[in-house]
Chains A and B, each alone.
Chain A
Amino acid sequence: MGDGRHPAAELAIETRGLTKRFGHQTAVNSIDLAVPRGSVFGFLGPNGSGKTTTIRVALGLAAATSGQVSVLGQEMPRRLKDVLPHVGALVEGPGFYPFLSGAANLHRLDSADRYAPSATRRARVREALDRVGLGHAAGKKVGAYSLGMKQRLGLANALLMPRELLVLDEPTNGLDPLGTREVRNLVRSLAAEGTTVFVSSHLLAEVEQMCTHVAVMSVGRLVAQGTLDDLRRAGEARVRVRTPDIAGALRVLAALGLVPEQTEPPGRAGDDDGVVSAPLAPGSTAPEAIVAALVAGDVRVRAFSVDRASLEDRFVALTGEGFDIAQ
């Protein structure tokens, strides 16, 4: 794994030229997704970029306009009946009967599963509820659940049976900080048991903490995919120099072949320091050489750092700055 090329059976989800159109609008535009088995795969993208649509097609809820999907090495939707029992899913928020209790809702969904033994149903429902921290609210009507409680119940539903693949569409939506952390731990422990977790999320910090692989969607296209480190490495690092000698720093850095700019004017932090920064291509000037050049050029260096691109920087670079929904 991690070498970028995987035999089909090693991929938990694979799409080839997957396209989904709604009328004239292309929600998913010819994407080739490769989710390695055993990975925790973060699926990112701005609102309306086609994440949920991709998930719906992969789970056989919607038909692809063109292209192929296979899940756990089996073609979908042809092998849907054989594949889906191994897949737990949370798709675009939870959906439950408000007039039934949390436990009764899980009973209902579990009894729809022909592979789920009825003998152990009660125990499995209880265990799943406990696992998401809903043990005490099991008998409460779902109509009286809070948003986060419903979300947790949706997760419990995905955990009713041992799964090989979990597809979680924004699992931490509406969860409190402790709930978010619990979900992160849950995902980690499931991954440790060998379950592949495919998780779409908007919380980049969270993805950074729990995912091994990442893919980024933008306006229906897959604009990046790979291991988390690959993706971050692809983004440029930046050198940051904190100094009162702005002009000097700009001159020295430019002389080194960098393209510096002043990113913070002097005096903002209450002293006379400003910040000059410049993108640093991998393999170009060594950071220690930059510091030496600055000192030699009589620049008073008060702080110096080389920041690796954060996932957020990378995300913004890939999907664009605009706040407006693209289509």
Chain B
Amino acid sequence: MPSDPLVRAGNLPCARPAVGWDLFASELAVLFRRRRTWAMLLALAAVPVLIAVAVRLSSSPPEPGRGPPFLDRVTQNGLFVGITALVVCIPLFLPLTVGVVAGDTIAGEANLGTLRYLLVVPAGRVRLLLVKFAGAAAFCLAATLTVVVSGALIGAALFPVGPVTLLSGDTISVGESILRSLLVAGYVTVSLLGLSAIGLFISTLTVVPVGAMAATIVLSVVAQVLGALPQLEWLHPWLFSHYWLDFADLLRQPIAWTSFGDNALLQAGYAAVFGALAYGRFVTKDILS
């Protein structure tokens, strides 16, 4: 008998481990098979519908400068409904849903008792963290796309659709404007990655998912409150919410990419720092749930 029992164990069906994309696929399946996820996406989809119906039913068209940005353009072009709805959702609704998903990542598994079973499979702690972050990012994308697509559909149903006049005064075709909407959705998705990483870290600290969710959501509110205080000007560029509403540059001709780049860099920084903290906490953590 060879001395190394693991060499003798030729009974493993595949000797070399697979890369393991299956776990990510399964993470998405678990996330999107939850009723909670669909409830949140439905609530997000309802926002543009509410806006469009309200504008449609009101007797006087919205005045420029009142209400959320772009609201005045909605009656002229239905394609603005999605963008307006995103602006409405960014401060609270989107962080709320992202906080729920990101806060649930590890704490939710711990709470169900599935975490210990994933780890004895073994899923690998680092791999599990990466998959969880990727899953949260996928939810961010799904959430923003839901708002944009729902907005485009209801806008096309209730208002005229045609070439869009950009903030720079240029006019672009309907096809191009759809591309721009998707670009804005991409921007908002990236904006939410920092918050996702924070949620992931908090989620490694507790076995009570509701606590991690609430803490993440509270942090997103705190960041925005701090961002609104002029006395803390020096702090503002470091807040993960700093560039959240700065996607207007993507609605100019030609596109100004600076805010996109700055935002991406900031979010990457947050993801790196809080990812490292989550790693430091989770890799050595005793799983006692």
Contacts and interface: CB of A to CB of B under 8 A. Distances in A.
Interface of A: 9, 56, 59-63, 72-74, 80-87, 89, 91-100, 104, 107-109, 111-118, 120, 157, 161-162, 164
B122 A81 contact: yes
A80 B34 contact: no
Given A108-B30, A162-B11, A118 B22 contact: yes
Interface stretch (B68-76, B108-116, B210-218, B259-267): B108-116
Contacts of B34: 99
The 8 A-B residue pairs with the shortest CB-CB distance in the complex, in nearest-first order: A95-B113, A114-B17, A111-B22, A62-B286, A112-B123, A111-B26, A84-B122, A61-B287
30 contacts: A9-B3, A56-B288, A60-B119, A60-B120, A61-B286, A62-B286, A63-B286, A72-B6, A74-B5, A81-B124, A89-B117, A89-B120, A91-B120, A93-B113, A95-B115, A97-B30, A109-B114, A109-B121, A111-B26, A112-B23, A112-B118, A112-B123, A114-B20, A115-B12, A115-B13, A115-B14, A118-B18, A118-B22, A162-B12, A164-B5
A230 B240 CA distance: 66
A85 B12 contact: yes
B25 interface: yes
Nearest to B284: A63
Grouping DSSP codes into helix (H, G, I), strand (E, B) and loop, the B interface class, with mixed when no group exceeds half, is: loop
Contacts of A93: 113
A94 B120 CA distance: 13
Most B Cβ at <10 Å: residue of A59, A92, A111, A117: A111
A169 B288 CA distance: 14
B110 to A, nearest CB: 9
Interface of B: 3-6, 9, 11-14, 17-20, 22-23, 25-26, 29-30, 33-35, 112-124, 128, 284, 286-288
Contacts of A74: 5-6
Contacts of A164: 5, 9
Given A56-B288, A92-B113, A104-B33, 5 more contacts: A62-B286, A62-B287, A73-B6, A100-B33, A107-B26
Contacts of B25: 111
A163 to B, nearest CB: 9
B121 A113 contact: yes
A100 B27 CA distance: 12
A148 B284 CA distance: 33
B114 A97 contact: yes
B62 to A, nearest CB: 42
A140 to B, nearest CB: 15
Contact of A73 (B4, B12, B13): B4
B116 A61 contact: yes
B13 A112 contact: no
Nearest to B115: A95
Contacts of A72: 5-6
Contacts of B3: 9
A9 B5 contact: yes
Contacts of A118: 18, 22
B267 to A, nearest CB: 28
Given A62-B286, A99-B33, A112-B23, A82 B116 contact: no
B112 A95 contact: yes
Contact of B117 (A116, A120, A157): A157
A112 B121 contact: yes
A98 B116 CA distance: 16
Contacts of B120: 59-61, 84, 87, 89, 91
